[in-house]
Amino acid sequence: MTNKIYQLTHPETGKTASLPVREPTLGPTVVDIGALYRDHGLFTFDPGFAATASCESAITYIDGDEGVLLYRGYPVEQLAENSRFIEVAYLLLYGELPTAEQLATFERSIRMHTMLHESLLRFFNGFHYNAHPMAMVTGVVASMSAFYHDTTNIKNPAHIDIFAHRIIAKLPTIAAAAYKHSLGQPFMYPQNHLDYCSNMLHMYFAVPAEAYQVNEVAARALDLLFILHADHEQNCSTSTVRLAGSSGTNPYSAIAAGISALWGPAHGGANEAVLTMLNEIGSVRNIEKFVAKAKDRDDPFRLMGFGHRVYKNFDPRAKLIRKMCHEVLEELGDPNDPLFELALRLEEVALKDDYFIEKKLYPNVDFYSGIIYRALGIPVSMFTVMFAIARTVGWVAHWMEMNADPNGRIGRPRQLYTGPAQRDYVPLDAR
């Protein structure tokens, strides 16, 4: 807290509110408005939290105008270039890059927790074959609290650690079980000699009848996507995890709430929506027509994978993913993939269009990620699940930070009530 004070004067009473100013390490100054209600009986109105810091956090920093993304201070580009997802997970959870020994211990622990309780595995048989994988994953993650309730004391550091390692380790296994169930194929148990992403690919694509060799380019591409999706400060799903967690509920339930929030097309569901949209556009000939639809105020259509609440410049993750797209298609798919060509052309047209320039709408992280997933053989219905696996690390880091905050309070927003004023009940026969 600095000594600076922000003064606000009530236009009618002339009463002055002195609001303390909080200086962040990076980013805009924050005015602490706690006194507005306490001393002056005023609420603030900020739908969608466009200008409200909901918490104090030391995990991730975004500068949306400059296209900057830092995890614990490290630029995401440097991490993408030099690190691995599992090391980034350690960094996000514990605040510092691990030593070689710390990393080895952490990775060993994650590898040792990949299996699911057999009863949990049987849950999948209860789902219809065409259930959406996100629905299955949400339900099964919420059920984890029924299996590990003996280690969900949120004030016990050992319980917190085991929760963090378990959920990060088991999410790929849960996702793979959902996928195999939808295919009607036998579930493949995790192979703990494989690294995190290779293990996931093995569980998705191996079958008991044949030997399966994980493709290194595919595993590396997945690792990169996971680094880029691991955290993004107070986005919708992370804020949901914090809000649910602030009541003191068990952390598995808080993460399940986050997965539900991620599913929406305005958030993590956008990667699925992008591919659906590209298929609908179908050909470069139709681009102009769809761009016109996106600009039409009377048409609800939006260009999926474009625009972001925070980035008013290139999403740095989108740049890295576009580069990776070329490499993956070169190695695994069709280097002239018509959908990738279409995406590149759509990006080019939109970036030159006055509407998109004026509103600062740039491709976001989801614009190209679906094309990579598709080249890896991952079906569209699994795209948001992939996002959820990577973002679990961020959710857990934020849950841990929220849980450790000595000044933490239950999240409880206020409202601007616009319903009827008090009125008397009218008996049925008098209405």
Interface residue list for ligand ACO (CB under 6 A): 48, 266-268, 270, 294, 302-309, 359, 361, 364-366
Q: Which residue number, 190 or 394, has a Cβ lying nearer to ligand ACO?
A: 394
Is residue 10 annotated as a catalytic residue, yes or no?
no
Q: Within its chain, how far is the Cα of 129 from the centroid? A: 26
Contact 353, 209 (CB under 8 A): no
Q: Distance between CA 69 and CA 319 in Å, rounded?
A: 12
Give min distance, CB of 134 to ligand ACO, in A.
14
Q: Which is nearer to ligand ACO, 246 or 271 (CB)?
A: 271
Which C-beta is closer to ligand ACO: that of 124 or that of 356?
356
Q: What span, in angstroms and rounded, lies between the C-alpha atoms of 141 and 65?
A: 36
Question: Which entry of 308, 315, 353, 398 is annotated as an active-site residue?
Answer: 308
Instruction: Catalytic residue, from 231, 315, 353, 366: name it.
Output: 366
- Assess whether 181 carries a catalytic annotation: no
CB of 305 to ligand ACO, least distance (A): 5
Q: How far apart are CA 215 and CA 202, in angstroms?
A: 10
Q: How far is the CB of 251 from ligand ACO (least distance, A)?
A: 22
Write the CB contacts of 399 (distance below 8 Å, at least 6 apart in sequence): 241, 242, 245, 251, 254, 255
Rounded distance between C-alpha atoms, residue 5 and residue 20, angstroms = 5
Q: Which is nearer to ligand ACO, 48 or 420 (CB)?
A: 48
What residues are paired with 18 via a beta bridge?
7
* Sheet (strand 5-9) strand order: 5-9, 16-22, 30-31
Minimum CB distance to ligand ACO, residue 50 (Å):
7
Pairing of strands 60-63, 16-22: unpaired
151 versus 313: smaller Cβ distance to ligand ACO: 313
Tell me which residue has its CB nearest to ligand ACO. Answer: 307
Q: What residues have CB less than 8 Å from 51, skipping those under 6 apart?
A: none
Least CB distance to ligand ACO at residue 356 (A) = 7
Could you list the active site residues? 308, 366
